[in-house]
Structure 1
């Protein structure tokens, strides 16, 4: 990547008053909304996330600044610097500055990682074939299908990353795409529009803000995670025991008549929002919800399991609304409900806790791997016929049959692979499991790139 030594002279040039004022404008675009919302200074970000991340974030703003033209003498700092001081710089430094001058921040999905050497980066915003990137440092920590916001610049004939590289979670990705759709797409658009390079250059601060809001939330214990109604995310599983002598078919008939219930199969319904809530509280952070292909927001799910009817939703307010609807529709077909509540933190902590408590296996590693892989085969084969939230609560097989949903299926499979590969021990059976059969089974192997 371009080093601070390559840009040393340019950074000194930034101290000039006219350029400092221009940089302050760009700096505010990248950090102002976060600092204002949290009543913080930039130094507070460094204290929360550490100096390394603070420098990376500053680099994101600086690299954006290098691409912009201003109403001052010279217009652009790179052009002006090379005109006045370029004779002092070697060929590599000048090549680096010129590459950054025209660079574009985008979101990439990485694959074909060769630790210490290279990777392939597929642009998730502009599309196109994956780009081969020479990279040493990041390849030691990145996993297959990770998503990163970065600038890819050609330096001396080789594609490299610039200094501002940010790893994106699925939540940060959703927030970024929502922002890009609002900025460049048509009203209520569900897909990213075609975005020109110059337009994407103008939206560089959106990458920083999406990453920063998401990262600060998680660093602070996720206090402000909300659904689209502005309600705090608290997951509720409301279980209605079926009354004595009542059959599932009797309950199913009543549930299907509840307004907003969209039936997926004989025992599963999506509870859809019929009209947006006008009194929803203003959200100060990205919201987290599932929508159907037609744009309808999913407020929860209802499912018949044995002698219980389950309502699953993500806030206390929705749980109360859903409970009222079900009790009014089903009357004496069900008894008083039982409710299990879990916070986001509890859900995140559950899996590590179970893994920590599990006794170490006392069987040979190769046998353990075979057993685990066979179990995962059975588990995922069943999953192919079960509703999945990331797929709009359709089953993977159903979603794979729709041209509009095939890309979502590919993203779901990549998410499974990525999470499986993140085991601390690369030899762990979870980490060595191959998902390739699922790609073939669902007919989306052409999207595994």
Structure 2
């Protein structure tokens, strides 16, 4: 955004010149922001100078206490972007929540920094350190946003807390409605702001994080401010950092007709007599094809339908390849072929590829497609989504335990599960629209049909 000149119209829309309207307020905000950053940096530097060992112990044993050495090595080797975010998050945790063990006494780090002998700080800097310590870290859901200006956010750990409007120019440009993230808010004279620490999470991860926090707090006999801050702060940090330390687990793909894990299997056979092999395959009632096009062994189904069990292809003058989508089908196909073909073939080797392995994913190529005009593509996609979601309330959904959304909303737990799914849908559409332009698909008709209100 271009810098506003003193004589330009004020961006607030008052009709006055900038110098006659908001210039002093904006200058104060810039100055305050500088004092805030300086105060946090000075407090951290002072704590590390005077309580270096205690600070290190708190970070290692509390903030990073849930990770083993291998995971810590990954965390310490994070690339510059996440590493910079981690430094900010740890620094804010230190001055807002950390408890240091000083000569056998547990003392809040911020009390040491603000106490006698602490660093020299301007008044605004001291007030900021107090402000960021007033509220613990929490999980916030975006209810509404104006990009470049601010957000309306709801605290998911304090159900009765009102929606808070925060001024936030940067995050409001990247977030979308229903995003959930870990953060801390602080009150300024002109309203609430995010304090700087941010824990971006995919929507499903913070929902799991919320449940773990609430369960752990429920197990505590008493929950004072110190326990609450430690449980909430470390759990959110754990879930955020686990995104970097977890080894990606590729989902297991299951064959639709058999329920067996998909393992793309190719058996190679040496053929000694093509005439004999061709004759015996032509005589099989469950085989179609010929030597030129290849053969398909099929399984009859209802209504004259059938599905493939194996495909056989001549690859060279003396080689036959037999492809099956699962190991079980491949083993059956090998036994069947060796029985009917006899000495006409001889097994040579087997290839197996996991369809979700990095090798398979890297080798996968997109098939060439004709370019579709963007307007037509958007229209077709919207019509498809409309038809699909028209039926959705009446169809069993695995994420709802096999219940239909209409049935699920009859209970409190099921109602919340349906709401979370609808938020997932809207979040996905909003991100897709932001990335590729256009308008997100409107799921409002589903909320209405299911009698739900957007919280």
Name the TM-score class by shorter chain: 0.5 to 0.7
Moved over 6 A (4+): 193-196, 304-309, 344-350
- Kept after mapping to 1: 8 A contact 2:42/2:119: no
Compared CA separation, residues 147 and 194, structure 1 to 2 (3 A): farther
2:431 counterpart SS class: coil
- Kept after mapping to 2: 8 A contact 1:95/1:155: no
Q: Tell me which of 82, 85, 90 is aligned to 1:53.
A: 82
Q: Does 1:96 align with 2:128?
A: yes
What is aligned with 1:433? 441
- Kept after mapping to 2: 8 A contact 1:27/1:61: no
Q: Quick one: higher RCO (CA 8 Å, sep 6+), 1 or 2?
A: 1
- Distance in 1, matches of 2:223 and 2:371, equals 51
1:236 counterpart SS class: coil
- Distance in 2, matches of 1:444 and 1:194, equals 35
What is aligned with 1:376? 385
Deviation digits for residues 110-167 of structure 1 (CA, Å, limit 9, x no counterpart): 1211111100111111113221111011111111111101111113342111222011
- Distance in 1, matches of 2:362 and 2:193, equals 37
- Kept after mapping to 2: 8 A contact 1:23/1:62: no
- Distance in 2, matches of 1:87 and 1:47, equals 31
What is aligned with 2:321? none
- Distance in 1, matches of 2:222 and 2:357, equals 35
Q: Tell me which of 420, 430, 442 is aligned to 2:450.
A: 442
What is aligned with 2:66? 33
- Kept after mapping to 1: 8 A contact 2:182/2:236: yes
- Kept after mapping to 2: 8 A contact 1:99/1:153: yes
- Distance in 1, matches of 2:381 and 2:123, equals 55
- Distance in 1, matches of 2:421 and 2:302, equals 25
- Distance in 1, matches of 2:225 and 2:368, equals 51
Equivalent positions of 1:7-406 (< 5 A) are: 7-18=40-51, 20-38=53-71, 40-41=72-73, 44-45=74-75, 47-48=77-78, 50-66=79-95, 67-72=97-102, 75-84=107-116, 88-127=120-159, 128-185=161-218, 198-203=226-231, 204-217=233-246, 222-223=248-249, 233-240=251-258, 342-343=355-356, 358-362=369-373, 365=375, 368-406=377-415
Compared CA separation, residues 18 and 87, structure 1 to 2 (3 A): closer
- Distance in 1, matches of 2:404 and 2:360, equals 23
1:406 counterpart SS class: helix
Compared CA separation, residues 152 and 202, structure 1 to 2 (3 A): same
Deviation at 1:178, TM superposition (A): 4.7
Larger Rg over CA atoms: 2
Compared CA separation, residues 19 and 103, structure 1 to 2 (3 A): farther
- Distance in 1, matches of 2:85 and 2:92, equals 10
In structure 1, the gaps of 5 or more residues are: 188-192, 226-232, 242-303, 310-318, 321-339
- Kept after mapping to 1: 8 A contact 2:149/2:169: yes
In structure 2, the gaps of 5 or more residues are: 1-32, 260-300, 308-325, 328-352
Deviation digits for residues 347-395 of structure 1 (CA, Å, limit 9, x no counterpart): 9999x977x95533237x2x55444322211111122222223322322
1:165 counterpart SS class: strand
TM-score by length of 1: 0.64
Compared CA separation, residues 15 and 70, structure 1 to 2 (3 A): closer
Q: Tell me which of 404, 417, 422 is aligned to 1:413.
A: 422
- Kept after mapping to 2: 8 A contact 1:31/1:209: yes
Q: Which moved more, 1:390-399 or 1:19-28?
A: 19-28
Deviation at 1:402, TM superposition (A): 2.2
Deviation at 1:176, TM superposition (A): 1.8
- Distance in 2, matches of 1:194 and 1:157, equals 36
- Distance in 2, matches of 1:348 and 1:405, equals 36
Q: Which moved more, 1:404-413 or 1:380-389?
A: 380-389
1:377 counterpart SS class: helix
TM-score by length of 2: 0.63
The alignment's C-alpha RMSD in Å is 3.9
